[in-house]
Homo-oligomer: A and B are copies of this chain.
Amino acid sequence: MAVRPRLTTAKVVDAALELVDEHGVEALTLSAVAARTGVATPSLYKHIASLGELRGHVGLRVMEEMTARFTGAVVGRAGDDAVRALMYAYRAYMQEHPKRYLAAPMDPLHDELQREAGVKFMELILATLRSYGLEGSNAIHATRRLRVIAHGFASIESSGGFGLPEDLDDTYDQLVRMYLDDLRGQS
């Protein structure tokens, strides 16, 4: 057996995610991670290459976590039912981890480390839309529209950007309905 390390990359990322959840992405600092894992700051470099790489790992985790949760929400459903499940699961994830959500990478396809997870995420949305029988580019545009709505809403809500008292559930319901009406080709 190999030497059992007290610390592993996975544990470092765990600590990083806790910090992000508690104090936001801007508080993700190597010295804070070191303090939390009970190690001196430079020791972290045995498990990660840099702060930037750690951020990449954190983003990857968030993306994988979202894909897993949304997959669970969507399986066994089709059509509007599946789309609704996906979109409400998206918002629910953001509400459970508002700060963590903001650590999700916006452009996973351009990052070597995150690319695979990004593709899986996209394929999940594409699969969710399968029963609408969209062809080629139309399917891509439909996934983009969904992402724009889900991410647009989530990023504003998680930043506390909706300043007025009107019910956010209502706004999101309207957005989901709008997206579905559009998908069905209503006008």
Show the binding face of A for B, using Cβ within 8 Å. Answer: 106-110, 118, 137, 140-141, 144-145, 147-153, 155-156, 159-164, 166, 170-171, 174-175, 177-179, 181-182, 185-187
Bound-state Cα–Cα, A65 to B147, Å: 27
Q: Chain B's nearest CB lies how many Å from the CB of A122?
A: 8
Copies of this chain, tallied across the complex: 2
Least Cβ distance of A166 to chain B in Å?
5
B residues within 8 A CB of A155?
106, 151-152, 155
Residues in B with CB closer than 8 Å to A107 are 159-161, 163
**CB pair A153 B160 closer than 8 Å:** no
Chain B nearest CB, measured from A120 CB (Å)? 13
The answer to whether B140 touches A106, judged by C-beta atoms less than 8 angstroms apart, is no
Contact assessment for A181 and B171 in the assembled complex, using a CB-CB cutoff below 8 Å: no
Q: Which residues of B contact A108 (CB under 8 A)?
A: 163
Contact at B182–A106, with CB atoms within 8 Å?
Answer: no
| Contact, CB under 8 Å: B175 / A186 | no
Q: How far is the CB of A26 from chain B (nearest CB, A)?
A: 10
A110 → chain B, closest Cβ, in Å?
6
20 residue pairs of the A-B complex, CB under 8 angstroms, read A106-B155, A107-B160, A107-B161, A109-B163, A140-B166, A141-B170, A144-B166, A144-B171, A145-B171, A145-B175, A145-B178, A148-B156, A149-B149, A152-B155, A155-B155, A178-B179, A178-B182, A181-B181, A181-B187, A182-B182
